[in-house]
Structure 1
Amino acid sequence: MKDKSGMAEVQRLEAESELARTPLTSLPEFSHSSPDEMLHELRVHQIELEMQNEELRRAQISLEESRDRYLDLYDFAPVGYFTLTSEGQITEVNLTGASLFGIERSKLLQRRFARFVTIEDKDRWHRYFIGVLRNKEQRQCELTVQRPDGSAIEVQLDSLRIDIAGGDERTRVVRVTVTDIHIRKQAEVKLHLIAKVFEQSGEAIMVTDADRTTIMVNQAFTTISGYSEAETIGQNQTMLQTDHHGADFYQKVWATVDLEGHWQGEMSCRRRDGHEYMGWFLISRVLNADSNPSNYIMIFSDITEHKEAQAHIQRLAHFDPLTGLPNRSLLKNRILHDLAIAQRNQSALTLMFLDLDHFKNVNDSLGHQVGDQLLIAWAKRLINAVRGQDTISRLGGDEFILVFPETDAIGAAHLVEKLLELSQQPYQIEQYELVVTPSIGIAVFPGDGTDFETLCRCADVAMYRAKQAGRNGFRFFTSEMQASSARVMIVENALRHALERDQFQLYFQPQVRLSDSQLVGAEVLLRWEHPELGHVDPADFIPIAEDSGQILQIGEWVLRQAVRQCKAWIDKGLAPILIAVNLSAVQFRDPRFPELVMQVLREEQLPPQYLELELTEGVAMDNPLEAIIIINRLLAHGISMSIDDFGTGYSSLSYLRRFDINKLKIDQSFVCEIGASSENRAIINAILGVAKSLGLKTIAEGVESEEQMTFLREKGCDEVQGFFIGKPLPAEQFEENFERQVLSLNTRLK
């Protein structure tokens, strides 16, 4: 909008310029009549006229410069200037206004301002414009302008009605200043969001000045720390510190913040009531325009419960939940360490396999509660009888493994006599006085074996010999026991011809989804019928196949037959189901295995989403980094992966969460005693909790009763399999019973 005083100045300068251009019509009157005097006065008068002309010329130049400056200021002002008629037509607009509206200035003139207002804001514009016309005072309004290209901007209008005199009438016009407030609005929304996040964040936020004096906290801070905002403002952040960390810790923290700009980690804190908690902190430094610290922002959350839960899960993964003794996985880690030292130092090591005699009678007659207490008491007695460097592990039930580094056969004999003597002392469990005796098998490194598996196998064989000898005693593994390995040789030789002689057969066991009782999959089980040996259990021949190197050929046959059968069922019009194939350790470690799987799927033309590969927990954790690579390669092709026998081994949760698997399979050893063992129920709950937190499905195997299935369903298990659901069947029978089996399952499980 043009300034009134500026226009008046322009008009004055124009009048002076016009005067300067007026011609002289007469000469001045002379006071003297002599020619010389007249000539002199004429010259003086000419000089005066020239001076006046020069002054007027400078004034005209100044006027033109002033006019140019005014026009520049008007056209390129940071806001748009519009002049509207009383009907809302645009009669004048500067370049900025035309730019805001996204249209050439000439195309704006004589068009109604309302045409550029969005439909949603037209009513507001009309009410506003009428109000401006009726009242001769400046008014404001915010609305949205629609540009010809479809974009829209938010603007603020400052309008004033002006009455212009002209002849006998006065013309009303409206001068409108248009300011783009889009960026300001965005900033306001952003600030509002920041304030909302600050107040409603679940994490505590504390803002300090450069001296670390608190200037702002949010509601979560009050909730977590117990300190009100009034109690916190003006205080130093050290009010949260505890004696848990030394002064060096805090110095390092703040040194890191000042050096790197931030620090994050765990820090112990004290609440207002004095209780301590563990917090996860992120401390950031804020710099001013001079690159000097102006503020510090501390964001933290209370992770006490998370730490406790994590410790509990880690304990479940490493230790037996009943006795607190190391479980099988931790035992394996420790014995591998002890064996490495024994090999390096060429020293002996003793492994004992210990089983309590007739312990089942205690559970059956007195109940599992008494049995559990007896196991706890027995574990404590064992712990007190050995050295700190020794390891005692409970495998499950009443089976224990004891490892004694730097102990030869003579030392083992002394130890076992001590253990047998301890067992004669009675236990007082509730109102019962109980005596429980052990049968112990002993294997000594390196004579009886140089690795964990061999030593365990030898000690197990020796323990059974001790039981056969009448229990409450011990046996060393001897060369006579090697006689049992003769069958191993027979089985190994027979295996070499089993494939070519078509002695293998696949069985399929149904897997059911608990949420809707639908058949969703089948686990593939390998069966071997030999003409002379008869039915050979997979638990007997699979380890032999692995040791002899035949498992790769057998495993490929199983995979191909399973994939081929699944494709055949789909081609026959049966509802597609997932085929679960177990992998051996040797198969999984074969670097060509992922390519083999994809080759089989391509050749048999089965989509990869119908294949699931089951990997045992022990195999996955044997070399977790390599396992992650292989699992990811398989998953990248759309193949599902599951961890079998979960809970029986040791799974580092830090690696388990990196295994991008789909499913955890709960081992049947936990399922079979759901009703009688609180320990097993606790383990199953823990496994389901781990799976849920990692976003994994769960399937329980070995379900043989409605009670077990009901418990698993209530606890959130996704799928089940077992004799209660259906027995393993050959492919033909499985196919024949397919539809009937689905109907039967729906009836039994609902």
Structure 2
Amino acid sequence: MRLRFTPTSITLSYLIFASAWVLMSDNLLGSLHLSAGHIELLQSAKGLVFVLLSSLLLGVMLHAYNAQHRRIRRTLRGSQQRLKLALEAAEFGHWGWHLGNQEAFFSTRYCHLLGVDELTSNTWIERIHPDDLPAFRRDLRQAADHQNEVQFHSAYRLRHADGQYRWIESFGKLLHDDNNQPERLIGIASDVTQRRNDEHMLRQAAAVFEATQEGVLVTNAALEIVHINPTFSRITGYDAAEVLGKSPTVLKSGRHDAAFYEALWQDLSQKGSWSGEIWNRRKSGEVYPQWQSIRSIHDAHGQLTHYVAVFSDISLLHRSQIERDHLAHFDPLTELPNRLLFSERVQHALTRAKRLQRGGAVLIVNIDHFKLINEGLGHNTGDALLKAVAKRFLDQLESGVTLARLGSDEFGLVLEGSEFDGLAVDLADKLLRSLDTPFALADQTLYINASIGIYEFCETSCLEQVMRNANSALHKAKSNGRQCVAVYSRELTDSAQQRFELAHALRHAIRNNQLVVHYQPLHSLNTGQLIGAEALVRWQHPERGLLAPGVFIPIAEETGLIGEIDAWVLNQASLQLAEWSNAGLELPRMAVNVSSRLLYRPELHTKIAALLESTRLDPARLELEVTESAVMQDPALAQEHLHKLRALGVNLSIDDFGTGYSSLARLKRLPVNKLKLDRSFVQGLPHDKDDQAIARAVIGLGHSLGMQVLAEGIEHLEQAEFLKACGCDSAQGYLFGRPMPAPAFAAQLSNLKREQT
């Protein structure tokens, strides 16, 4: 057993020994009855012996005390070393803060937490985040107010040497002085930035887990459900109490076979994840589609611990996909297959034809003049008519025939198999006859016709060829006057190729100034005098020579080039008229055709105004001819544009009158000066009674509306005499002069000028 020596115990031991020595030695001397001299001598010896013995006793006790102190220091140093190693192993720094003088101590390890070599209380405070400074001061004040020992805990953001803020968490204790007043705080600290970030991410993940619109299912390695989120319950109808601890097979729909699940588990085992569409069953029993992703979770040792499945209900997506597929393949108005599905059906028919060595046919039906119905009666009436036509066509068809709506007013039919051989024309005639009965739509009774093109394909045909040739046949039917059937022949392809080549060459001609303007004289039927000229475009083809308008104008109208050509002719004719005027060759009027493409351009009147100003022409000498059909494309807009043109002072005339479908109510509101009787009503004069009646009617109508009437296409004197007798004002045609180049027409003007002088 080791004795523990302290200053108090050493002092008490010395006091007891000294007192015992004095009392015992004095009693012993008194009992010897010695003389005074001997007693004095013994007293001195006794004192020396006391000093010797007390010195020995004191030395022994001090030696024992020092040995004990050395043992304590060794133990303390060991404890300190172990504490230091423990703090370093735990990456703790230690610190102290004196509450009185606000001095602080920070260990080297603490300084390393912030990337610095040393810290003081002031430099430490400078590094604390401004938002955390009030909390630090509050914590310090509360610690100073406690009289008893308290535990201290805080976490502040401190600026690291790299400029970033780190979360430093401290644990400490409040120490008191001898008067039990709070004196200092001591403790340890560590960098918990990563832990804080991890906790923040975990809180975010938990929030996402709870709030996500996808259902989440977690199982352990034994495939027992251990966790679900609220969306799982919303989608499946099962709450947590009904599924926790159970297998996910409670959700199986029975729709997938064993091979499906085998492939799923194979992906999970080999790749660690699987995703795809899967059908499951709700609590209500409803089977529905999910898009599901499953991932396997392993611990740090690579052992499988959990499976996490995330899924979304794609029922609406499935329904939308079905609707989109329907919209992609069917016409929403008539519910017939659309062009895409029709092409697929034709391709299917071609595949069968190739396999079975037999053909079929494709018919394309176009409603004649449907645009006029849309514009005249409105799109609602047009839509109702299309639905009625579709129903009537369906009533004429046998099973196995596909009817589709290919476009606005176009339908397609495909017949396949030997049972339809040679029946395509019969079916086309049947469809046309079905249109003979008028359509009763609300308060309208409509009579319509159609044009049909047919291509009979064989086992070697391809889809592009079939559709191209059927359209060529349709174009031929329209060229033949509409309301008829045309069957494709090789000549139609050649014609289509020629049209394509001509359209390409026409674009080149416009860019390379191959177009020229010829001028046809206009004469008064009453006086026979020249009253003007009509500007007519010609194409000076480098290989085919001079081409008449009938060769290329239809191509220009199909390709949309007609507006550009008309604008060029208008500009050339106006410049030519100004040039002749400057040369003293006066021409009373220049007539120029304006197509619908040019008429409906909003900038037309401003461009004509600029042209008149630049050429300094009298607007009354310029006459713009607009066809009846062009005006009826959009009567209201045409009327607006014609009034703007008339306000410029130019004259306006209706060309090809009698061939369109104009309304007299519209006609009387148009600011038109002249009607042009179409050549188709002049050719039969004076013998054809119908032409006679039409000519008289047009002349009478024009005069009654305050307009002049010009007849075109006059080739014989008897035609001119008949029209003159009917009161027709003016005429043009080969009888009076053919269209001629500008120099030839200028020569004619010069001759007239000399004759007049």
TM-score bucket of the superposed structures, by smaller chain: 0.5 to 0.7
Specify the alignment match of 1:316 in structure 2: 327
Aligned pairs (5 A) from 1:389-538: 391-406=402-417, 410-413=422-425, 416=428, 440-445=452-457, 451-461=465-475, 463-464=477-478, 468=482, 471=483, 474-477=485-488, 488=499, 491=502, 495=506, 498=509, 501-502=512-513, 530=539, 532-534=547-549
Specify the alignment match of 1:137 in structure 2: 150
CA pair 529-212 structure 1, distance change in 2 beyond 3 A: farther
Q: Distance in 2 between matches of 1:224 and 1:728?
A: 65
Q: Deviations over 1:684-718 (max 9, x none)?
A: xxxxxxxxxxxxxxxxxxxx9xxxxxxxxxxxxxx
Residue 459 of structure 1 aligns with an amino acid whose one-letter code is A
Q: Is the 8 A contact 1:362 1:371 kept in 2?
A: no
CA pair 172-399 structure 1, distance change in 2 beyond 3 A: closer
2:232 to 221, 225, 235: 221
Aligned pairs (5 A) from 1:310-709: 310-336=321-347, 338-339=349-350, 347-355=358-366, 367-368=381-382, 370-378=384-392, 380-381=394-395, 385-387=398-400, 391-406=402-417, 410-413=422-425, 416=428, 440-445=452-457, 451-461=465-475, 463-464=477-478, 468=482, 471=483, 474-477=485-488, 488=499, 491=502, 495=506, 498=509, 501-502=512-513, 530=539, 532-534=547-549, 540=555
Specify the alignment match of 1:161 in structure 2: 174
1:150 to 138, 163, 175: 163
1:108 aligns to what SS in structure 2? coil
Specify the alignment match of 1:296 in structure 2: 307
Aligned-pair distance for 1:153?
Answer: 1.8
Q: Distance in 1 between matches of 2:456 and 2:265?
A: 55
Q: Is the 8 A contact 1:377 1:427 kept in 2?
A: no
Q: Deviations over 1:654-710 (max 9, x none)?
A: xxxxxxxxxxxxxxxxxxxxxxxxxxxxxxxxxxxxxxxxxxxxxxxxxx9xxxxxx
Q: Is the 8 A contact 1:80 1:177 kept in 2?
A: yes
CA pair 529-228 structure 1, distance change in 2 beyond 3 A: farther
Aligned-pair distance for 1:128?
Answer: 1.8
Question: Is 1:181 the counterpart of 2:181 in the alignment?
Answer: no
Q: Distance in 1 between matches of 2:339 and 2:607?
A: 35
Aligned-pair distance for 1:196?
Answer: 0.8
Residue identity (%): 24
- After TM superposition, the structure 1 stretch with the greater mean CA deviation from structure 2, 241-250 or 202-211, is 241-250
Q: Is the 8 A contact 1:336 1:452 kept in 2?
A: no
Q: Distance in 2 between matches of 1:462 and 1:274?
A: 61
Residue 154 of structure 2 aligns with an amino acid whose one-letter code is C
- After TM superposition, the structure 1 stretch with the greater mean CA deviation from structure 2, 533-542 or 75-84, is 533-542
Q: Is the 8 A contact 1:443 1:477 kept in 2?
A: yes
CA pair 481-208 structure 1, distance change in 2 beyond 3 A: closer
Specify the alignment match of 1:240 in structure 2: 251
Aligned-pair distance for 1:216?
Answer: 1.9
Residue 167 of structure 2 aligns with an amino acid whose one-letter code is E
Aligned-pair distance for 1:423?
Answer: 7.8
Aligned-pair distance for 1:100?
Answer: 1.8
2:413 aligns to what SS in structure 1? strand
Q: Distance in 2 between matches of 1:137 and 1:175?
A: 11
Aligned-pair distance for 1:102?
Answer: 2.7
Q: Is the 8 A contact 1:222 1:228 kept in 2?
A: yes
Q: Distance in 1 between matches of 2:506 and 2:445?
A: 52
Q: Is the 8 A contact 2:329 2:337 kept in 1?
A: yes
CA pair 246-326 structure 1, distance change in 2 beyond 3 A: same
Q: Deviations over 1:536-573 (max 9, x none)?
A: 9898369999xxxxx9xxxxx99xxxxxxxxxxxxxxx
Aligned-pair distance for 1:96?
Answer: 1.7
Residue 110 of structure 2 aligns with an amino acid whose one-letter code is G
1:119 aligns to what SS in structure 2? coil
Residue 469 of structure 2 aligns with an amino acid whose one-letter code is L
Listed as ranges, the gaps of 5+ residues in structure 2 are 8-63, 517-536, 541-546, 566-596, 614-639, 641-757
Q: Deviations over 1:260-279 (max 9, x none)?
A: 22222222233333333322
Aligned-pair distance for 1:284?
Answer: 1.7
Aligned-pair distance for 1:374?
Answer: 1.9
CA pair 124-538 structure 1, distance change in 2 beyond 3 A: farther
Residue 268 of structure 1 aligns with an amino acid whose one-letter code is W
Aligned-pair distance for 1:419?
Answer: 6.0
- CA RMSD between the two structures: 5.3
CA pair 475-90 structure 1, distance change in 2 beyond 3 A: same
Q: Distance in 1 between matches of 2:556 and 2:310?
A: 58
Aligned pairs (5 A) from 1:188-227: 188-227=199-238
Q: Is the 8 A contact 1:263 1:282 kept in 2?
A: yes
Q: Is the 8 A contact 2:280 2:290 kept in 1?
A: yes
CA pair 317-231 structure 1, distance change in 2 beyond 3 A: same
Aligned-pair distance for 1:97?
Answer: 1.3
Q: Deviations over 1:709-733 (max 9, x none)?
A: xxxxxxxxxxxxx959767998997
Specify the alignment match of 2:701 in structure 1: none
Q: Deviations over 1:477-525 (max 9, x none)?
A: 45786896697399369538615632589xxxxxxxxxxxxxxxxxxxx
Specify the alignment match of 2:744 in structure 1: none
Q: Is the 8 A contact 1:448 1:454 kept in 2?
A: no
- After TM superposition, the structure 1 stretch with the greater mean CA deviation from structure 2, 242-251 or 131-140, is 242-251
Q: Is the 8 A contact 1:328 1:395 kept in 2?
A: yes
Aligned-pair distance for 1:321?
Answer: 1.9
Q: Distance in 1 between matches of 2:214 and 2:488?
A: 61
Q: Is the 8 A contact 2:209 2:229 kept in 1?
A: yes
Listed as ranges, the gaps of 5+ residues in structure 1 are 1-8, 13-51, 506-527, 546-550, 552-556, 559-703, 705-721, 737-743, 745-750
Q: Distance in 2 between matches of 1:125 and 1:203?
A: 43
Q: Distance in 2 between matches of 1:78 and 1:301?
A: 45
Specify the alignment match of 2:93 in structure 1: 80
2:132 aligns to what SS in structure 1? helix
Aligned-pair distance for 1:198?
Answer: 0.9
Q: Distance in 2 between matches of 1:544 and 1:372?
A: 27
Q: TM-score, normalised by structure 1?
A: 0.52
- After TM superposition, the structure 1 stretch with the greater mean CA deviation from structure 2, 130-139 or 446-455, is 446-455
Q: Is the 8 A contact 1:323 1:379 kept in 2?
A: no
Q: Distance in 2 between matches of 1:442 and 1:378?
A: 19
2:110 to 97, 102, 109: 97
Aligned-pair distance for 1:195?
Answer: 0.9
Q: Distance in 2 between matches of 1:444 and 1:504?
A: 40
- After TM superposition, the structure 1 stretch with the greater mean CA deviation from structure 2, 531-540 or 427-436, is 427-436
2:271 to 260, 263, 270: 260
Aligned-pair distance for 1:442?
Answer: 2.1
Q: Distance in 1 between matches of 2:557 and 2:190?
A: 81
CA pair 405-83 structure 1, distance change in 2 beyond 3 A: same
Aligned-pair distance for 1:194?
Answer: 0.6
Q: Distance in 1 between matches of 2:504 and 2:333?
A: 43
Which is bigger in relative contact order (C-alpha 8 A, separation at least 6)? 1
Q: TM-score, normalised by structure 2?
A: 0.52
Specify the alignment match of 2:706 in structure 1: none
CA pair 537-243 structure 1, distance change in 2 beyond 3 A: farther
